[in-house]
C-alpha cells in the first residue's frame, strides 16, 4: 500500500515535468521550420489551416528526438527536487531502498519508450512523406500567388522575375522585367509594359503572357533587340518534379526490402540499414536516460533546477554528437550500422548502471575513484 502511493507520487512528479519539457524541446526544434512555414502565409497567401497541417506532419520526426530528451530532464529535475527538499531522506528513513525508486521510473520510461517506438516506426515515415507531398501540392496550388510587387522572385529555375505592380485578384502585372538564363549560351532579358500570369495546379507550370515589350539577347558579339506585341513564356515552378523519398520516408518493410535489394548501391543500402536500426535504438534511449538520470538527480540536491537542466543538455549534446559521428561512419562503411546506433546506448547505459551502484552504496564518483586509487597504492 505504502509503495503504491509512493509510486504514483513519483510518476506524477516525473510526468508533469516530462510534459512541460516535451513541449519546450519540441517548440524549440520546430521554431526554425515554423518561421519558414509562416512565410508561406504572409508571402504566398497560403491559408493558416494548411500550414498547421504541415506542422502536424512535421511533429513525428521531432517527437522521436524530444521524448527521450524530455524524459531525461524530467527524471533529473524530479529527483533533484525530491533530494533537495529532503523527501528522499525521509523515504530512506522509512526503510525504502534505492531499488524501490526504480519501478515507477522504469514504468514511466516504458510508456514513453513505447510511444516513441510507435512514432518512430509508423508516424515518422507517414509524416515525412506527407509533408513532402503536401509541400509540393501547396507550392503548385499557390505558385502564381508568390509574386510580390517590387521584389525579385528567384525561386523559378533559371528565371528571375520582377514586377512593379501586381493585381493578385486578376493576376495582371504592370512593368515587368524577366531575366531568363535557362539557355546559358543565349540568356534573355525581357521588358514588358504588362502581363498576365496563370498556373497549372497539377504540374506547377507557370504561364506568363507578356504584352508590349522587348527582348534583349546577346551571344558573344551578337546583340539582338526584338520588339513584341505578345510573348508567352512558360516556367517550371521548381515543384513539378516527382516526389523523391529518402530513407527517412520509408517504412520498416520498405527499408528491409531496400537493404536486401541488389539493385541499390552498397552505400545506399548502408544508409537504409543505419536508418532501420535507429528506428529501434531511439526509443530504447528513453530507458537509458532514465537509468542515467536517477542517480544524477539524487546527487544534485544542492545545485537546483538550473544545474539539472545544464546536466541534461550536456548529456544530450554528448549523446547526439557521438551518435551522429557513428552514423556517418556507418553510412561510409567504416562500422557496422547495428553497432553505430546501439553503441551510444550501451555506453550511457553502462555509465548509468555504475552510477546506480555507487548511489546504492552511498558513494560518489570522487569517493569511488579515491578508494580505487588507495587500493592500487596498497596493492
Q: Residue 15 corresponds to which cell in the numbers above?
A: 510526468
108, pLDDT greater than 80: yes
CA proximity to 226, closest of 215, 240, 237, 211 = 215
Better pLDDT: 135 or 335: 335
Looking at residue 303, its pLDDT comes to 52
Better pLDDT: 306 or 113: 113
Cα-Cα end-to-end distance for the chain: 49
Q: At what angle do helices 48-84 and 102-118 cross, to 10 degrees?
A: 170
Bridge-based pairing of strands 188-199 and 222-236 is unpaired
Q: Do residues 88 and 298 lie in contact, with contact meaning Cβ atoms separated by under 8 Å?
A: yes
What is the pTM (predicted TM-score) of this model?
Answer: 0.74
140: alpha, beta or left, given left = phi > 0 and alpha = psi -120 to 50? Answer: alpha
Considering 142-146, 236-240, 287-291, the range whose residues carry the highest mean pLDDT is 287-291
Looking at residue 375, its pLDDT comes to 44
Looking at residue 376, its pLDDT comes to 47
Q: Residue 249 corresponds to which cell in the numbers above?
A: 520516408
Query: What's the whole-number mean pLDDT along residues 19-43?
Result: 83
| Average predicted confidence (pLDDT) for the chain | 82
Looking at residue 4, its pLDDT comes to 74
Q: What is the pLDDT of residues 336-361, one digit of tens each?
A: 999 999 999 999 999 988 888 887 77
Measured CA to CA, the distance from residue 344 to residue 4 in angstroms comes to 34
Measured CA to CA, the distance from residue 72 to residue 297 in angstroms comes to 10
Bridge-based pairing of strands 188-199 and 153-156 is unpaired
Better pLDDT: 272 or 236: 272
Beta bridge partners of 231: 210
Measured CA to CA, the distance from residue 231 to residue 350 in angstroms comes to 71
Query: What's the whole-number mean pLDDT along residues 5-14?
Result: 85
265, pLDDT greater than 90: no
Buried b (16+ CB within 10 A) or exposed e, 273-288: bbbbbbbebbbbbbbb
Q: Do residues 278 and 59 lie in contact, with contact meaning Cβ atoms separated by under 8 Å?
A: no
CA proximity to 97, closest of 257, 241, 298, 234 = 298
Looking at residue 2, its pLDDT comes to 58
Better pLDDT: 139 or 302: 139
Q: Do residues 252 and 273 lie in contact, with contact meaning Cβ atoms separated by under 8 Å?
A: no
How many angstroms separate the Cα of 86 from the Cα of each of 7, 81, 105? 17, 8, 19
Looking at residue 369, its pLDDT comes to 47
Amino acid at each position: 500500500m505504502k509503495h503504491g502511493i509512493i509510486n504514483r507520487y513519483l510518476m506524477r512528479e516525473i510526468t508533469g515535468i516530462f510534459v512541460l519539457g516535451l513541449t519546450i524541446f519540441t517548440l524549440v526544434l520546430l521554431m526554425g521550420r515554423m518561421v519558414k512555414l509562416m512565410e508561406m502565409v504572409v508571402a504566398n497567401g497560403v491559408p493558416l489551416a494548411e500550414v498547421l497541417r504541415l506542422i502536424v506532419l512535421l511533429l513525428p520526426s521531432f517527437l522521436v528526438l524530444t521524448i527521450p530528451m524530455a524524459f531525461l530532464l524530467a527524471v533529473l529535475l524530479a529527483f533533484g527536487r525530491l533530494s533537495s527538499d529532503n523527501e528522499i531522506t525521509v523515504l530512506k528513513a522509512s526503510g525504502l531502498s534505492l531499488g524501490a525508486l526504480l519501478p515507477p521510473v522504469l514504468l514511466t520510461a516504458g510508456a514513453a519508450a513505447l510511444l516513441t517506438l510507435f512514432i518512430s516506426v509508423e508516424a515518422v515515415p507517414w509524416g515525412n512523406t506527407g509533408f513532402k507531398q503536401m509541400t509540393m501540392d501547396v507550392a503548385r496550388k499557390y505558385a502564381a500567388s508568390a509574386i510580390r510587387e517590387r521584389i525579385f522572385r528567384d525561386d523559378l529555375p533559371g528565371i528571375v522575375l520582377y514586377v512593379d505592380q501586381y493585381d493578385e485578384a486578376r493576376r495582371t502585372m504592370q512593368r515587368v522585367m524577366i531575366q531568363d538564363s535557362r539557355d546559358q549560351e543565349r540568356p534573355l532579358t525581357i521588358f514588358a509594359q504588362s502581363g498576365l500570369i496563370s498556373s497549372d495546379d497539377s504540374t506547377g507550370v507557370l504561364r506568363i503572357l507578356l504584352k508590349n515589350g522587348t527582348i534583349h539577347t546577346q551571344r558573344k558579339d551578337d546583340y539582338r533587340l526584338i520588339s513584341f506585341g505578345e510573348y508567352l513564356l512558360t516556367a517550371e515552378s521548381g515543384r513539378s518534379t516527382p516526389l523523391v523519398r529518402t530513407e527517412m520516408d520509408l517504412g520498416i518493410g520498405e527499408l528491409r526490402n531496400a537493404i536486401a535489394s541488389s539493385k541499390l548501391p552498397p552505400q545506399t543500402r548502408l544508409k537504409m540499414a543505419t536508418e532501420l536500426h535507429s528506428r529501434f535504438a531511439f526509443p530504447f534511449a528513453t530507458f537509458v536516460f532514465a537509468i542515467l538520470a536517477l542517480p544524477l538527480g539524487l546527487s544534485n540536491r544542492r545545485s537546483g533546477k538550473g544545474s539539472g537542466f545544464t546536466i541534461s543538455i550536456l548529456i544530450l549534446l554528448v549523446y547526439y554528437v557521438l551518435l551522429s559521428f557513428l552514423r556517418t561512419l556507418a553510412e561510409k562503411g567504416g562500422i557496422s550500422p547495428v553497432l553505430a546506433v546501439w553503441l551510444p546506448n550501451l555506453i550511457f547505459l553502462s555509465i548509468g548502471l555504475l552510477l546506480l551502484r555507487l548511489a546504492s552504496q552511498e558513494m560518489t564518483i570522487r569517493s569511488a575513484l579515491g578508494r580505487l586509487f588507495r587500493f592500487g597504492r596498497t596493492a
